Amino acid sequence: SVMAEAGLAHGAYEGDPADGLTLNGAIIINAVRCVPPANRPTPAEIRACRPYLRGPLQTLPSLRAVIALGRIAHDATLDALGKRRSEYRFAHGAIFGVGERLILIDSYHCSRYNQNIGRITHKMLGSVFQKALEYR
């Protein structure tokens, strides 16, 4: 996986809490915690999940970089941080200062669909994680 290649994870992800995957200097926080129909959350679902995103963003003292996988995560992160979306236009690989010591890095979502149509490749995603490591 890209996270393992970047040194941020060890073990194999198998979709099971007991799969042995461990994260190293990283945390995964979903912008939306449910699985909506067709993987398209409604604005109400995104708003309902905002406190679960805001909490870690505000309370992790060593957090330096956030990688937003897709526009929904980009917008949700900005909303959770109280930032104006119009000042931070989503673009793959874009880097924004969003706090005193915090950056937001955008990436296309790594969904199977985006991979199949070539919107995101393993190399592109790896590049985003390498950028994040520079701010560690």
DSSP string, 28-40: ---S--S--GGG-
Q: Which of 59, 50, 107 is nearest to 82 (CA)?
A: 50
pTM: 0.91
Cβ neighbour number for residue 68 with a 10 Å cutoff? 23
For the chain, what are the domain ranges? 2-133
* Binned average pLDDT, 10 residues per bin, the chain of 136 residues: 92 85 91 83 93 93 95 97 98 96 96 96 97 92
Q: What is the pLDDT of residue 36?
A: 80
What secondary structure letter does DSSP report for 92?
T
2-133: what fold? Uracil-DNA Glycosylase, subunit E (3.40.470)
Q: Find tokens 């236009």 and name the residue.
A: 89
